[in-house]
Each structure stands twice: as structure tokens, then as C-alpha cells.
A and B are shown apart, each in its own frame.
Chain A
Amino acid sequence: MKKLLMLMVLGVFLLTGALLWASGDGQEQEEYDEDTYGPKDPIIWVKPVKSVVFEHKVHTMQGGLECDSCHDDLFEMEAGVAEENEDFTMKTLYEGGYCGACHDGSTAFASNTRCTACHIGARGQARLLGADGATEKTH
């Protein structure tokens, strides 16, 4: 009787474990495809100000945008080109340029709201780059 009980308990554990493992595996399987969704690593702009983050994943895989939604009208496909433009400023965004094309308050949150959603700052950049700028020791 005792043995049977033990076996049942063990069985339940194994089954649960397998299910959990399988579900974990399932999530893993939905792989991020860079050809479909764009570069996996976040883009960090440091001009004109430190530091603004853009994640393709959020906009394509999660947001449902296509590559040609932004490329090459709003942004050159080549990394770092927008950053060099004189007009890569908040003012241009407010006038509908670059991110401002969607971030206008109707399609997506307006460019003059929720600053820190994209502006991760020097601290956020340091964190993304691995150097844990947040725990820097000060004298």
C-alpha cells in the first residue's frame, strides 16, 4: 500500500515536471528570427543625447510592424545613419519625423510623453552594456 502511494506521488511529480519542462520548451521554440523581425540586439542612440533605446522585437514581433513600415522612408536600414542627421531631434519627432510618425498620440504614445520609455539614460545604457553603472562605488 505504502509503495503504491509512493509510486503515485512520484508519478505526479514526474508528470508535472514533464509538463513544466514541455511548456518551457515551447516558449523557447518560438525563436526570434532576425530576418523577419530585424536585429535582436537593441539599438542605442547616443546622439544628440545619451542614451535612447530602440528594440526591433517590441515593434515587429510584438507590435506587428513590417520592415518596410519604417525602412527606408523613416529610417535608413543602415545602423547609425539617423543619428548623424542634423534633424534627428525631438522637434522633428513632434512634427511627425522619425519615431514621431507613429508616436503621435494616436497610433502610439506621443513623443512628448513617457520620456523614459525610450530614454534609458546613461545609467540604462551602462546596464545594457553589462557594466553595472547602477552600482558604481562612489567616494
Chain B
Amino acid sequence: MKIDDLEKMESEDVSSLSSVERRNFLKIGFAVTGMYLGGSVLSLVSVKNAHGASASGVVPELGKYPYNPHYSMVLREKLCIDCERCKDACVKTNNVPSYGFRTTILEKRHSLGEDKYETIFVPVLCNHCNRPPCVRVCPTTATWKDEKTGIVVMEPSRCIGCKTCMAACPYNARYFKEEARTVDKCDFCFQSRLSKGVMTPACVEACPADVRVFGNLADPASRVSQLVHSPETMVWVLRPETGAIPNVFYINS
């Protein structure tokens, strides 16, 4: 090939890439270097994580959401300061007993060399998966995905307490609430707020640092949609290798 021919070819530098292509390219880069998740996030298989994320994409393409509204939450991880106002609000709003939680904050340490480390707080809750393992395993359909909103809901009167859903959940999002004789879980405050016209979950409202962003992913104008679909933003989910297709996304910007 001659120099002239080379010049006629399409440039391979990033300037000619569409934003989506650039994003995919970046993902691969991060996946390869293992930086994608900034270490391992819940999953112990970071390579698999990265692969799951970059090959299939953890965020479905715009317009490919099975529900409308397709409720989801975006967690701006680095901003979380573990003040636990979200937990308190959740407990109050949903009558969560002292031994349980619907949402909680995990803490991880990211080594900065020597004895120094950076603390990262990770809020976790039900991921309202598109392919929820808990729903599949329930023998009495006491839990299901709400047809309109995609929220994974519980019907306490049907729960026989076999706890298979708890074993099946990759996110430790379920617990057995003895008082109600049922497995209990986050429902994005569907019962306590959304169904009564209050359009944010209690934890979102309580967060002073704007960590938790809630909204309809299927609406391109919504903040959640814009956050996860902005080309420069790295988006990750927890334990993508389980194939559950979670609807709780994590970002740092």
C-alpha cells in the first residue's frame, strides 16, 4: 500500500467515531485493563463482569425497554456519604423491622498504595431485573413483575415462606418479615408512594447528596435515561454475569 492510498482511507482515530462507537471502544479498553468496574463490584469475577458489560451492554438501547414507564434507579456512587437517611426514610415509609432492610449501604476500600485507601459507599437495593430469578422460582407466584411498570412486587398473602426467592436473588435484596409472614423487598415505594401519586421513592427524596436518581428509563427526556445514555459516562451494574438484567445502574459522574 502506498502512502497516497493510506491517506484516502478512513481515519482510524477517535475523531471519526460516532459517540456510540467511541463508547463501545472505551468499554472494551476498560474491560481489557480491568478498570471498568474500578475493581470488583459485588461480583468476584471481574473479568466476567467486564465481558458481560462490554459484549452485550448493561444498558439496553434506547427504545428497547419492555415497560413504559420502565422504572429504574441510577446511583451516582462516588457521591454517597453513608449518611443513611435513605435507610431511615425507607424504614419509616415501609415499616421495615430492625432486623431487615430493603436498601442498605455497603462499604468498599480502594487501595491507594501503602496504607492509604479510598472509601467508597455503595447503596444497594432490589434491582428490579428484567429477568428476575426470584420471580421464576416462586412456587405460588407471590412475586412478579408488574406488567405496567416492571417493578418486582410481592403479594404477602400468597407467600408460603419457602425462601427460594431469597436464595435466588443475586443481590441479597430480600428478607423474611416475620410480622407480615412474608418475604419483603424494595418495590420502589410502589405501594407506599407511587400508587398514591407521589412519584419518587422515599430513599430518593431523603438523599441529601443526590446520589439516587429515579425515573422512567423509557422516556428519553427523563434524567435517568439521560444519565445512562450520555456517551462519556461509564455505566455499570452489579453481578451482570447472573443474566438477571438489572435496572439499577451505577455511575460516577
Any A CB within 8 A of the CB of B100: yes
Q: How many residues of A contact B (CB 8 A)?
A: 17
Any B CB within 8 A of the CB of A62: no
Per-residue CB proximity of A100-139 to B under 8 Å, as 1/0? Answer: 0000000000000011110111111000000000100011
Contact A49 B83 (CB under 8 A): yes
**Shortest beta-carbon distance from B121 to chain A in Å:** 6
Contact B79 A115 (CB under 8 A): yes
Contact A122 B84 (CB under 8 A): yes
B contact residues around A119 at 8 Å (CB): 81-83
Any B CB within 8 A of the CB of A51: yes
- Among B78, B100, B209, the residue within 8 A (CB) of A138 is B100
A contact residues around B79 at 8 Å (CB): 115
Contact A134 B107 (CB under 8 A): yes
A residues contacting B by CB (< 8 A) are 48-51, 114-117, 119-124, 134, 138-139
Sample of 7 further A-B pairs with CB below 8 A, known A116-B120, A121-B119, A139-B176: A49-B208, A50-B82, A115-B79, A115-B80, A117-B119, A122-B105, A138-B99
What are 25 of the A-B contact pairs (CB < 8 Å)?
A48-B208, A49-B83, A50-B82, A50-B84, A50-B85, A51-B82, A115-B81, A117-B118, A117-B119, A119-B83, A120-B82, A120-B119, A121-B82, A121-B83, A121-B84, A121-B105, A121-B121, A123-B105, A123-B107, A124-B82, A124-B119, A138-B99, A138-B100, A139-B99, A139-B176
